[in-house]
Amino acid sequence: MGLGKVRNNKRPSGTSYTSTITTMIFIALCVLGVWMLTSNSVVPPQTTTRTATDAATDADATATSAGYSSSTTDSHNTKTINKRDSPAVFEDNPGELPDDAIKSDESSHPEDTNDNKKSQDDQKYTSSDNPKDSTDIESLTGTAIEAESNNNGKQENGAVDNNNKQNGKDNYNDHEDNIIKEASSDVQESSMTQNQQAEETTTQNQSASTNKNSAGQESQETRNDQEGNGKQKVDNHGSLQDTQNQILDEDRQQREKEKQQQQQQHEDQSQKQIQEATSGDRIEQDDAKLHSKTTQVEIQETQQNDSAMKDTSKQETKGKEEKPMEANTNDSLPGGVNSGIPKESKESKKSWKTQADQSENQKERRPGASGGQDGSIYGYTWQLCNVTAGSDYIPCLDNEKALKQLRSTKHYEHRERHCPEEAPTCLVKPPEGYKRSIEWPTSRDKIWYHNVPHTKLAEVKGHQNWVKVTGEFLTFPGGGTQFIHGALHYIEFIQEAVPDIAWGKHTRVILDVGCGVASFGGFLFERDVLAMSFAPKDEHEAQVQFALERGIPAISAVMGTQRLPFPSRVFDLVHCARCRVPWHEEGGALLLELNRVLRPGGYFVWSATPVYQTLEEDVEIWKEMSALTASMCWELVTIKKDKLNSIGAAIYRKPASNECYDQRKQDRPPMCKNDDDPNAAWYVPLQSCMHHLPVDEVERGSRWPEDWAGRLQTPPYWLNKSQMGIYGKPAPDDFAADYEHWKRVVSKSYLSGLGISWENVRNIMDMRAVYGGFAAAMKDLKVWVLNVVNVDSPDTLPIIYERGLFGIYHDWCESFSTYPRTYDLLHADHLFSKLKKRCKLVPVMAEIDRIVRPGGKLIVRDESSTIGEVENLLKSLHWEVHLTFSKNQEGILSAQKSDWRPDSYASSS
């Protein structure tokens, strides 16, 4: 029994031991299984390679949830957008100028063509990351952009890695593109309504919501895939690689599905926009019909893109090429020609006089066709001018035939304008060794000798520090006959003599008579003073040409038998430093002309030998001048001696009222008749009389304008609201609207959107200025603008002077009184369509080619048909047309003059 009990006691022990072993093994297996399960669930995310597009899609979904909009036009190549890095977007429809219509100055040089083409290709095929930019591009070119997006979408599968590598470069190029689009927005300044903006915002929000839902769906499906794959891996130990491949396949299918969905959304949206454009509901979609004429490189790029477009896009593009400069009817011209500023009002012509109306001897012009030989403008044959003046030819001053017929030269008739009966159509050849002009302000001190290869002034006036020959340069020490120790000292000397002159504040616009090389005016720029400098084309050869080559305003003119081409009472100060003008002769006729253009209360600074020398001739002249100025009621403010230069200056002040005139004992000089218009100045003979000063408080000249620079943007006090402005609004409102218009155009378009490098622009002419708004908008640049008011246009030149700018009357059916190659940029706003009704365009374009420097620019805004004519003429002149653009029968053109000259000379006349 005891033995049995022992057996009974040991049996349970053995069983317990075996159970314990089994339990431990089971636990170990469980631990191992858990470990394997945990290991398998972690491995796939570590070894699965995500493509750049997946990461970008997730990042874009994150950005969308954070409040960013998602681009719908470039869904095939989306990247993460940092809101801080996105450039500021103008609200005034940015990016309306087509990208392929923009070309920089550097493209004008053959050696840079390949680099520019590569740069343009980079910009053109860089994805647009900014959501608003994408929308703007879409509204800009409609189906063309849709086709390009589809083309890029087809290439995307094979270019994911390359896009990822180029991410940094793309961001930079996108930023550059956005800046160009924003800056050039006013070149196509469409006026989108608030409802249209709301519609566009709704479309963007819907696109963003769609992408957000798509991104959320991808996240959920990805989690489900991972859970399912994890179970599969637990059940099939050792099938890790197959599972990874399956995940990649599913991810790839998911991306393709998303891509198809987004592409379908994009196509639906584009189709909707095309339909809206057809019905005229969306102004921006009109741009899909626009034709942009570019250089040959850009045309080739456009043709390459067209091969990938849909049939409808091809048809539209073909239609554009067959009908260049196609006009739309639903919109205004980009750049604001009709946006905010309507066309010139017909009713306003009743409220404004013109120089043609005021000037008694206005020449009649014969109307003629604007075409070239046999009506073929593009094939016009150009020849060099065969004239004695050679490279310095000024047609209206070098008319040898007219000069030979003059009966007298006593009153400098031979220095006045005598234009040919038929305006010349020949071209002027530059001198040998001509180089691109030195940039301002270096040009004030030196210029290339071969650009103005004249040494007579250096030989005659070198000791007076006018100009010196220094190697390959002509240098200008800043002196003159009366200030051989520098213009700055002389300018300060005048200020000390009469502190009320207050350069750059009280005194802003001056007239410098007999300017020499214009160093006085050149250094007055430092004091915010504009000087209209002039001198005759005489034995002091090329003095005005020197001034213009230096970047200083000047014209070739003489005080002879005719009035100066300026309105009355506009210059704050008139200056004559030994200008060799016989003021005292002929009853003071020439001094009375200065009295006409001098503002009431303005100063006349006379720095000449009769003021400070005691030679018999000087003493006699001083007596006659003293009597003349007293009879003119000019007050002799002071006679100031300059010990450094050993000279003296007499400073006179014109009266500001008629009190002195009424108290004179003798009526000499006589007062002008009431019917004599003091503002008539185009081919009007001099009148030896004085005009009464304005007495009405609202009449121009009754009080001094505001100090600079407040006068620039303030409508003149004498502009009456009852008078209709040029564009149909009350005159002060018209003035203000014009200023705002040109500020937008210059800042958003001209400075960045026309392919112009402004660093080498100094001398500018506005060929048809109205209120001077274009020049006013250029105030902060280191440039000066000569405003030209046409003789058949409303006489707004007094307004331009009142705001502290300057200008001149002119008829573009004649040559301008300047040397060849003297302007860097000409601006013509609706000039040629009006001009061609009176004269031919061929000689006008020859004149433009004459006065613009090689490498200089031309900006034209006009009717589409006229833009086409101008473009063809420029191409026949071998100018490089950077941009032509037409919309709603209005167009814009930007071109640059080349170095081309014809080989043959015209027959001698």
Interval 38-54 mean pLDDT: 43
For residue 790, pLDDT beyond 50 = yes
Considering only residues 95 and 116, tell me which one the structure prediction assigns the higher pLDDT.
116
Considering only residues 551 and 63, tell me which one the structure prediction assigns the higher pLDDT.
551
**What is the band of 39 on the pLDDT scale with cuts at 50, 70, 90?**
low
Percent of the chain exceeding pLDDT 90 equals 53
Q: Point out the least confidently predicted range of 26-35, 511-520, 528-537, 660-669.
A: 26-35
Name the maximum alpha-carbon separation found in the chain. Answer: 172
Burial class (CB in 10 A: 0-12, 13-18, 19+), 794: buried
Interval 878-884 mean pLDDT: 94
- pLDDT digits 0-9 by tens, 416-444: 999 999 999 999 999 999 999 999 999 99
**What is the band of 479 on the pLDDT scale with cuts at 50, 70, 90?**
confident
Is the CB of residue 581 less than 8 Å from the CB of residue 559?
yes
What b-and-e string marks burial along 175-200, b requiring 16 or more CB atoms within 10 Å of the CB?
Answer: bebbbbbbbbbbbbbbebeeebeeeb
By 3-state DSSP, what share of the chain in percent is helix, strand and coil, each rounded to 5? 45, 15, 40
Is the CB of residue 566 less than 8 Å from the CB of residue 684?
no
Residue 450: count other Cβ atoms within 10 Å of its Cβ.
15
For residue 283, pLDDT beyond 80 = no
Q: What is the structure's pLDDT at 685? A: 96
For residue 762, pLDDT beyond 50 = yes
For residue 340, pLDDT beyond 60 = no
Considering only residues 246 and 644, tell me which one the structure prediction assigns the higher pLDDT.
644
**What is the band of 114 on the pLDDT scale with cuts at 50, 70, 90?**
very low
- pLDDT digits 0-9 by tens, 629-643: 999 999 999 999 999
Q: What is the structure's pLDDT at 150? A: 42
Q: Which of 196, 186, 142, 139 is nearest to 338 (CA)?
A: 186
Is the CB of residue 527 less than 8 Å from the CB of residue 503?
yes
Sign of the CA dihedral with 229 first, then 232, 234, and 238 last: negative
For residue 659, pLDDT beyond 90 = yes
The residue with tokens 């004429």 is 293
Q: What is the structure's pLDDT at 546? A: 95
Which of helix, strand or coil describes residue 144? Answer: helix
The residue with tokens 């019905």 is 279
Considering only residues 256 and 722, tell me which one the structure prediction assigns the higher pLDDT.
722
As a whole number of Å, the CA-based R_g of the chain is 38
Is the CB of residue 127 less than 8 Å from the CB of residue 79?
yes
Considering only residues 183 and 477, tell me which one the structure prediction assigns the higher pLDDT.
477
For residue 44, pLDDT beyond 50 = no
Cβ neighbours of residue 510 closer than 8 Å, sequence gap 6 or more: 521, 524, 529, 530, 531, 532, 571, 572, 573, 574, 575
For residue 213, pLDDT beyond 80 = no
CA distances to 420, 457, 480, 589, 842 from 423, in Å: 6, 31, 36, 32, 9
For residue 94, pLDDT beyond 80 = no
Considering only residues 358 and 846, tell me which one the structure prediction assigns the higher pLDDT.
846
**What is the band of 270 on the pLDDT scale with cuts at 50, 70, 90?**
low
Q: Is residue 441 reached through a cis peptide bond, with omega within 30 degrees of 0 on the bond before it? A: yes
Cβ neighbours of residue 425 closer than 8 Å, sequence gap 6 or more: 382, 842, 843, 846
For residue 905, pLDDT beyond 50 = yes
Is the CB of residue 377 less than 8 Å from the CB of residue 371?
yes
**What is the band of 880 on the pLDDT scale with cuts at 50, 70, 90?**
very high
Interval 493-521 mean pLDDT: 97
Interval 847-872 mean pLDDT: 97
For residue 751, pLDDT beyond 60 = yes
Q: Point out the least confidently predicted range of 131-140, 153-162, 237-246.
A: 131-140
Q: What is the structure's pLDDT at 642? A: 95
789 sits in which H/E element: strand 784-790
Considering only residues 145 and 431, tell me which one the structure prediction assigns the higher pLDDT.
431
Which of helix, strand or coil describes residue 282? Answer: coil
* Distance spanning both ends of the chain, measured CA to CA: 157
Give the separation between CA 128 and CA 126, rounded to whole angstroms: 6
- Torsion angle, CA of 362/368/371/373, rounded to 10 degrees? -110
Q: What is the structure's pLDDT at 63? A: 39
Considering only residues 27 and 647, tell me which one the structure prediction assigns the higher pLDDT.
647
DSSP β-bridge partners for residue 860: 828, 893
Q: All domains of the chain, ordered by start, with CATH?
A: 483-663 (3.40.50.150), 710-897 (3.40.50.150)
- pLDDT digits 0-9 by tens, 164-195: 444 444 443 343 344 334 434 444 443 334 44
Interval 771-790 mean pLDDT: 97
Dihedrals phi, psi of 16, to nearest 5 degrees: -60, -40
For residue 452, pLDDT beyond 50 = yes
Q: What is the structure's pLDDT at 736? A: 97
DSSP β-bridge partners for residue 512: 533, 575
For residue 216, pLDDT beyond 60 = no
**What is the band of 465 on the pLDDT scale with cuts at 50, 70, 90?**
confident
- pLDDT digits 0-9 by tens, 542-591: 899 999 999 999 999 999 999 999 999 999 999 999 998 999 999 999 99
For residue 231, pLDDT beyond 60 = no
Q: Point out the least confidently predicted range of 348-362, 466-480, 524-538.
A: 348-362
Burial class (CB in 10 A: 0-12, 13-18, 19+), 847: buried
Q: Point out the least confidently predicted range of 83-87, 250-254, 584-588, 848-852.
A: 83-87
Q: What is the structure's pLDDT at 314? A: 40
Considering only residues 187 and 814, tell me which one the structure prediction assigns the higher pLDDT.
814
Q: What is the structure's pLDDT at 512? A: 98
Q: What is the structure's pLDDT at 575? A: 98
pTM: 0.67
Q: What is the structure's pLDDT at 346? A: 66
Interval 690-707 mean pLDDT: 94
For residue 310, pLDDT beyond 90 = no
**What is the band of 706 on the pLDDT scale with cuts at 50, 70, 90?**
very high
Which of helix, strand or coil describes residue 5? Answer: helix
For residue 148, pLDDT beyond 50 = no
Copy the structure tokens of residue 47. 């070894």
Considering only residues 706 and 345, tell me which one the structure prediction assigns the higher pLDDT.
706
Interval 607-614 mean pLDDT: 95
The residue with tokens 């919309």 is 887
**What is the band of 350 on the pLDDT scale with cuts at 50, 70, 90?**
low
For residue 227, pLDDT beyond 80 = no
Q: What is the structure's pLDDT at 89? A: 30
DSSP state of 765: E
Percent of the chain exceeding pLDDT 70 equals 61
Cβ neighbours of residue 620 closer than 8 Å, sequence gap 6 or more: none
Mean pLDDT of the chain, nearest integer: 74
**What is the band of 363 on the pLDDT scale with cuts at 50, 70, 90?**
very low
Give the separation between CA 136 and CA 129, rounded to whole angstroms: 12
